[in-house]
Chain A
């Protein structure tokens, strides 16, 4: 946009000494342009304004003309080029606005200059750049002339409208958004400024320009106190901006602008617009840094956002924080963010689980499985065998503690399978189990069934599981229950009979074996575990297949 500047400068030669002023009037001048026009129309300036207009009108397509009165300036604005001229014109107009007729005369001579230093300050400062703030201020300053404005505004409105309408068709697509007459010019100028400041962010540039346009419009509107006109033009510009498909920036800027329709909010709008614009460049710049995101997230995002062109938006949001998010308001970004968060949490969970799995693997002896499922299987088996082993030992110790005589020779030792177990073992185990099994259902059988039971047990020896259940009745009570001496006597008898039988107590090969045996034997477990045991052991009654199973598993 600054290509116009040189021209502006030229204008300055005759008009304003301050080059900056040329720029400023662009945006600030917009409202003032309108006002100025009115003044001109109303006052002596008319002629001059006419002149001005004529000046501008001649090259309507060329400049964006701030100089031209609102209506015409609008048309001019649409033209990208002559900001300078516009500024010059604006300044002129501005001058007119603020200046009295006297001023205007001076203004005539110094189109840009006059108005004064005040105007120059206001406009020039704003135009020049850093100025968005200044422009706001300027606008505010401009607003200080409500009286003039309102009148001018009212008049301007139709003029503006007309101007806008007229300017639309010829407006190049880029400028479409800047329909609002002179405002457009200013906005365009700003947008250009922004674009430059952004430094080549193509994406943001148009958006920023749009946003700027929108902002400016709103600002201008406010300053001019034209609530009606403002929204109209502003809405138009907003619509146009959105048409360009600028999802984030323009929309947001429009939104911001819309939010503050009041005149007093111009400064805020300006600021917000700036924020928006800056944010958009930020977004685009952020998009250039996808590496910042963890690769996993990127993978996930790619899947989701393949269709979305907003990948960078997401990154931007992620980096810039909530501001962008709010600005965007697009569900895709929110969704992607949620998905990213989910992925992160999922990954953390997985890591935790893997860590626990490794720890578990270390605890399991001879675990050479790398597969998680098999490792878990082994863990389960090992855990069961450990539990069994502990139970067996506890039971044995209990037996021992009860009295040496009570200790069954045929300690349910595990390894051997049912078939291998002789009657003695079966008996022994039965006794063992009976003793430790509070669940024994037939304690009453103890009394008379010792011998017969033994015989039966012997008979049933091979079927290990069965005797286990049957035997219990014989010795029945577990150590805790051995209050009945007769029962214990029974046991002793049983044991005694068993003594003859060489204890072929099973050898505890290893926890697994023991585990297997335990299944077979239905080892009596401590009382507190009895409840649990039966659940697992009962199915063991149908031993055959299970024993084989256990055996096989035990031998791994």
Chain B
């Protein structure tokens, strides 16, 4: 860990504790890792899972947006629902 401070001068002045804390937060968010024993999950694994999770969420959002779009087409554009959908898709 100490090597981080010394070797990675340009990128990180942060301590490893910060990293650990953040990694733990991520771990809690990512469902896959959440159920595992936290102490056994290495940081690289957490990061990997986070990336995968974000990608999956992206896909899901895209899919949902698609559905919303389809839904929007079917309903009255002036309806509240349409507004909602539009707002949702706008994200």
Contact = CB atoms under 8 A, between A and B. Distances in A.
Interface of B: 3-4, 7-8, 11-14, 18-19, 22-23, 25-26, 29-31, 42-44, 47-48, 50-51, 53-55, 57-58, 60-61, 64-65, 67-68, 71, 75, 79-81, 83-85, 87-88, 90-91
Interface string A344-388: 001101101110110110011000001111001101101110110
A413 interface: yes
Given A349-B44, A356-B44, A371-B11, A386 B88 contact: no
B29 A387 contact: yes
B75 A404 contact: yes
A471 B68 CA distance: 26
B61 A389 contact: yes
Given A386-B58, A396-B85, A377 B50 contact: no
A229 B11 CA distance: 68
The interface residues of chain B, by DSSP majority, are classed as helix
15 contacts: A349-B44, A350-B3, A373-B12, A373-B19, A379-B50, A380-B22, A383-B29, A390-B57, A393-B61, A394-B64, A397-B64, A404-B81, A407-B84, A509-B90, A509-B91
B91 A376 contact: no
Interface residues of A, number: 51
A532 to B, nearest CB: 8
Contacts of A371: 11-14
A306 B42 CA distance: 33
Interface of A: 296, 343, 346-347, 349-350, 352-354, 356-357, 359-360, 363-364, 370-373, 376-377, 379-380, 382-384, 386-387, 389-390, 392-394, 396-397, 400, 404, 407, 409, 411, 413, 503, 505-511, 514, 532
A386 B65 CA distance: 13
Given A353-B43, A400-B71, A383 B26 contact: yes
B61 A390 contact: yes
B73 to A, nearest CB: 13
Given A505-B84, A510-B91, A346 B3 contact: yes
A346 B65 CA distance: 43
A372 B84 contact: no
Contacts of A347: 3
Contacts of A411: 80, 84, 87-88
A508 B91 contact: yes
A372 B88 contact: no
A407 B65 CA distance: 17
Nearest to A397: B67
Given A393-B65, A505-B84, A508-B91, A373 B54 contact: no
Given A383-B54, A507-B90, A407 B81 contact: yes
Contacts of A377: 22
